[in-house]
Structures are given as C-alpha cells and as structure tokens.
C-alpha cells in the first residue's frame, strides 16, 4: 500500500501536468516596458535609473493561476491529510484506552452482553468528532502528564 506522501505526489504530478498543458500557450517573457517606464519616471526626479524586472500581465496571470491551483489542490489536501492523521491517532488512543479501562465506559456499555471490543467500537462510533478529539486529548494528557 503506497504511503500518503506517494499518493499526494502522484496526485500533484497528474494535476500539475494537466494544468501546465492548458497554461503553456499563455506564457510570455518578462516585461521590459514596465522597466523602461520606471526608468523614465526616476529620471524625471533626478534619480539614477535602475533596471526594474517584472512579469508581463500574461505571465503574472499564469503565476496567480498556479498559486490558486496549489492552494486548491495541494495545500488544502495536505491539511486534510494531517487532520485525518490526527483523527486516526485519536480513535486508536480511545480504542486502546477503553479496552484497557472498560470501567471508564458509560454504564449503558458495561451492561451489554457483547464482546468488549464491540462495545468499545460502538461507543467511539457514536462520538462526534470534536468530542472524540477532546476526549483523546484529555486521556493523552492524563496518561503522559
């Protein structure tokens, strides 16, 4: 099974390849007209002209599209992977905790005639995400002060 980084890298490569092929025709070289305009403005104020390098409007537009693409398809996905990792850690911690401390389960889960693992899974499955994350954090802090 591939790791998360390999999955993300493959996804990024495919998406970026699709995006670049659509954007390639739109690229143009750096604009020198802006530099010429800036130099003439400097001379008007008695300042020695310095070369100014900037992107042409079409290249700037492509760069902004790339930035937008990266935030939509890459950065947000990485944040989601981190959130999923935290959720898995929380569920594992809760499962382990309640298997080793069944007395900590709510009373209605103690009286059921089912295997302990099933009762623990049912209890965790019924939790809201915020509650599970908060409870896991409290357990972790109590276990490792």
- Provide mean pLDDT across the span 15-42: 50
- pLDDT, position 120: 95
Helix/strand/coil (H/E/C) assignment for every residue in the chain: CCCHHHHHHHHHHHHHHHHHHHHHHHCCCCECHHHHHHHHHHHHCCCCCCCCCECCHHHHHHHHHHHHHHHHHHHHHHHHHHHHHHHHHHHHHHHHHHHHCHHHCCHHHHCCCCCHHHHHHHHHHCCCHHHHHHHHHHHHHHHCC
- pLDDT, position 134: 95
- pLDDT, position 70: 83
Question: pTM of the entire structure?
Answer: 0.48
Q: How confident is the model at residue 127 (pLDDT cuts 50, 70, 90)?
A: very high
- pLDDT, position 119: 94
- Provide mean pLDDT across the span 131-144: 91
């Amino acid at each position: 099974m591939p790791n998360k980084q390999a999955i993300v890298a493959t996804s990024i490569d495919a998406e970026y390849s699709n995006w670049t092929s659509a954007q390639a025709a739109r690229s143009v070289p750096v604009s020198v007209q802006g530099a010429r305009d800036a130099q003439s403005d400097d001379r008007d104020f008695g300042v020695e002209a310095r070369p100014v390098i900037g992107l042409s409007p079409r290249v700037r537009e492509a760069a902004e599209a790339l930035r937008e693409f990266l935030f939509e398809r890459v950065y947000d996905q990485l944040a989601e992977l981190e959130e999923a990792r935290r959720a898995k850690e929380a569920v594992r911690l809760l499962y382990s905790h309640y298997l080793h401390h069944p007395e900590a389960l709510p009373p209605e889960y103690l009286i059921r005639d089912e295997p302990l693992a099933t009762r623990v899974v049912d209890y965790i499955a019924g939790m809201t995400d915020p509650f599970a994350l908060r409870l896991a954090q409290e357990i972790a802090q109590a276990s490792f002060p």
